[in-house]
Amino acid sequence: MRGSEPTPVRDPACCPQTRALLLETARSLHIRRYLEIGAGEGGTAEAVFKATGAEIVAIEKDPVRAVHARERFEKGGVKGRLYEGDAGEILPLLGGTFGVIFLDGPKAQYRKYFPDCKRLLETGGVLFSDDVLLYGWVRGEPPKKRRMLVEHIREYLSLLEADPGFSTQYFEYGEGLAVSKKLR
């Protein structure tokens, strides 16, 4: 018996194309601060730090992943902070602004997080929202058991598209990526 040894976790990092676009955007905007909601094991956030030197603020709810991310940040000399906890509780407490925000936490909560993302994103900054097309279900017909989640994502995308303060482009990377520039 291995007792209380933590269960190994698979690193749920975003797909390589999403990461590449994120890094290219962060570099070209010369961002000073970066926020990641749903940091997983911190690999993407660390890559942003290495590419830009920006201050990293990352939120991760899963305690095992948060420990791995924190260790990674310490080892990599990442400047910033890893918050362990629920993004819904932590986001309202954050201040200042960020050049890029990567929304990659619980998909059903994107809509709820949007007002804070809007408040925290600087004008000219970019919001990346990952996994918003979900195997084509969001634009098509989802299986019955995924309908509720798809409905949440559709509501989020309607909000984003209807907001005159944002201009959004979609990329068929992974399960679908929305890239939204804050215009004002």
Ligand X SMILES: C[S@@+](CC[C@H](N)C(=O)[O-])C[C@H]1O[C@@H](n2cnc3c(N)ncnc32)[C@H](O)[C@@H]1O
User: Of 55-63, 118-126, 133-141, 153-161, which part binds ligand X (CB under 6 A)?
Assistant: 55-63
Q: How many CA atoms lie within 13 A of 112 on its CB side?
A: 14
Q: Does 60 bind ligand X (CB under 6 A)?
A: yes
**Residue among 12 and 115 whose Cβ is closer to ligand X:** 12
- Smallest separation (angstroms) from ligand X to the CB of 15: 9
What interhelical angle do 110-120 and 147-162 show, nearest 10?
30
Q: Which of 76, 80, 106, 174 binds ligand X (CB under 6 A)?
A: 106
Q: Does 44 bind ligand X (CB under 6 A)?
A: yes
Distances 167 to 1, 7, 107, 128, 160 between C-alpha atoms, Å: 54, 41, 20, 12, 8
- Smallest separation (angstroms) from ligand X to the CB of 100: 12
| Token pair 């990526």 in the structure block, residue | 177
- Smallest separation (angstroms) from ligand X to the CB of 132: 12
Q: Does 61 bind ligand X (CB under 6 A)?
A: yes
**Residue among 67 and 167 whose Cβ is closer to ligand X:** 67
Q: Which of 29, 32, 62, 94 binds ligand X (CB under 6 A)?
A: 62
User: Of 26-34, 84-92, 137-145, 176-184, which part binds ligand X (CB under 6 A)?
Assistant: 84-92
Secondary structure of 102-151 in the HEC alphabet? EECCCHHHHHHHHHHHHHHEEEEEEEEEECCCHHHCCCCCCCHHHHHHHH
Question: Binding-site residue total for ligand X (CB under 6 A)?
Answer: 20
Six-digit token string for 149 = 């989640």
Q: Residue 53 contacts by C-beta under 8 Å, 6 or more apart in sequence?
A: 79
Six-digit token string for 62 = 């899963």
- Smallest separation (angstroms) from ligand X to the CB of 141: 24
Q: Report which residue's Cβ sits closest to ligand X.
A: 38
H/E stretch holding 52: helix 43-52
User: Residues in the site for ligand X, rule: CB under 6 A?
Assistant: 12-14, 36, 38-40, 43-44, 59-62, 65, 86-88, 104-106
